[in-house]
Amino acid sequence: MKPNDLLLRCYANKNGDQWQAFCIDFGLAAQGDSFDEVKGKLNLMVKEYLYDALYGEDKAFAEQLLKRKAPFKQIATYYFILAMKRFGIFKNGLHRLFKDPIPLVPKNYVHG
């Protein structure tokens, strides 16, 4: 496993007065009033999603849940933002890419 395999590809953009953030590796989305808020909400969602898939009530479906991807439109948007940033476009801070590490010890996990 490569280090990048432990990073989730995410992006956020401002839509009106709200920020939206998406994790394209699990198809999760969050909304908030600021970038920091929406990033924090998405991070919490990822932790809860992984806990439910690995240890919670959805563990019977872990294989499907861990392979779930975002819809094509969100994946395309991620790569469009990536390309625009590489070409020096989207400097206004309204479109942000970030990678969050996969939590190695999911939320609520207690050693038994």
Q: Evaluate whether residue 32 is within a structural domain.
A: yes
Which structural domain range is residue 65 located in? 6-101
Residue 31 forms beta bridges with which residues? 20
Q: Evaluate whether residue 106 is within a structural domain.
A: no
Report the relative pairing of strands 18-23 and 7-15 from DSSP bridges. antiparallel
62-76 pLDDT, tens digit per residue, is: 999 999 999 999 999
CATH number of the domain that 85 lies in? 3.30.160
Q: Evaluate whether residue 21 is within a structural domain.
A: yes
Q: What is the rounded average pLDDT of the residues 24-51?
A: 95
**Which range, 24-33, 42-51, 98-107, has the best average confidence (pLDDT)?**
24-33
Q: What is the rounded average pLDDT of the residues 2-8?
A: 75
**In total, how many domains does the chain have?**
1
The sign of the torsion formed by the CA atoms of 30, 31, 34, 37 equals negative
Q: Evaluate whether residue 73 is within a structural domain.
A: yes
46-59 pLDDT, tens digit per residue, is: 999 999 998 899 99
Q: Evaluate whether residue 109 is within a structural domain.
A: no
More confident residue, 23 or 109: 23
Q: Evaluate whether residue 39 is within a structural domain.
A: yes
